[in-house]
Amino acid sequence: MKIVTVIGARPQFIKAAAVSREIEKYPQIKEIIVHTGQHFDANMSDIFFKELHIPKPDYNLDIHGLNHGAMTGQMLEKIEEVLIKEKPDWVLVYGDTNSTIAGALAASKLHIKTAHVEAGLRSFNMRMPEEINRILTDRISNLLFCPTQKAVENLKNEGFENFSFAKIVKSGDVMQDAALFYENLAKKPKNVNLENFILSTIHRAENTDNENRITEIFKTLNEIAKETPVVLPLHPRTKKILKNLNINTSNINIIEPVGYLQMVWLLKNSKMVMTDSGGLQKEAFFFKKPCITLRDETEWVELVENGFNKIVGANREKILKAYQEMKDINLDFSKDLYGGGKASKIIVKELRGEQ
């Protein structure tokens, strides 16, 4: 049995690493990895491959730095070539990036079965490129691996139970598999000598591409940092914007983007997370930290419903209020919201069974 895995962005490397480890247990399955190159920084992506022990990509498409249409179009063309050559039984795609939709679309046009990991997530905000990618990918996938019950319900509400070619499987979240696996391999970043800090990441286009939002967020983080240290691995896109807009970040401990093992260390040693990342909201929960989400909505509604996460957008008052409420909060993180680390097992079992 042959699987072509299409990945290209940071969170996908982490998710694919968890599933690849499970695939490796079955010598009869051959996994071919296609790296689209979408990730912003070749060095960072090399670090990810090395430290996460992802098998080296069999194909590196080197497609990046383009507008959405051009990027997705080039990926579609190149992935199609790979699929025609490799003739896999399955194409495996992750999450909600341009690499995800390009992989799924190339496969479905060639009548190759597609499995989507992280299916069914919705923010209901069609201005997000991620939302468009996930809806379209789900619609043409054959196996839909849902990380949460809410994701299953979203698909049912959209009529997926009526699509004869699509099978919904509640697998749980592969990010939890990864968090459990890498927990003991955490590495302290060289230049961080703090404890009980707020860990922050800001990179979403809805924030970085909006001058008011990015200014308000950094003004507020800079204010909070006077009281509680804020450590912020800075995404290159955000770095550029901060410089262009001349935004003051003088109280914030800004560091370079870190590898995943360092991120795990930062998560474990932080007291709270403030982010606009999807993945980090869940990782905050896995590492038992309260989270404040600097977006107007989240796909991970169960975190909000259970009080682990507060959605505050880019509004100074809301951010400060949530910070006051969350800074000394005592939460019980024992709830099983994401399947407890068994997602990769369920995914690979299903792929083998459905061959």
Is there a contact between 172 and 339 (Cβ–Cβ < 8 Å)? yes
Q: Determine how β-strand 253-255 pairs with β-strand 230-233.
A: parallel
CB of 182 to ligand UDP, least distance (A): 10
CB of 255 to ligand UDP, least distance (A): 8
Nearer to ligand UDP, 112 or 292 (CB): 292
Is there a contact between 120 and 155 (Cβ–Cβ < 8 Å)? yes
The two three-digit tokens of residue 60, written as one number: 């590196």
Nearer to ligand UDP, 113 or 203 (CB): 203
CB of 29 to ligand UDP, least distance (A): 25
Binding site for ligand UDP (CB under 6 A): 10-11, 14, 201, 203, 233, 257-258, 260, 263, 277-280, 283
CB of 294 to ligand UDP, least distance (A): 12
Catalytic positions are: 203
Nearer to ligand UDP, 142 or 176 (CB): 176
Nearer to ligand UDP, 105 or 175 (CB): 175
The sign of the dihedral angle between the CA atoms of 103, 104, 109, 114 is positive
Nearer to ligand UDP, 106 or 273 (CB): 273
Strand runs (DSSP E) across the chain, as ranges?
Answer: 2-7, 30-35, 59-60, 90-94, 113-117, 143-146, 167-170, 197-201, 230-233, 253-255, 270-275, 291-293, 309-311
Please state, in angstroms and rounded to a whole number, the distance separating the CA atoms of residues 205 and 57.
28
CB of 62 to ligand UDP, least distance (A): 19
Alpha-carbon separation of residue 327 from 24, 25, 270 (angstroms): 42, 43, 11
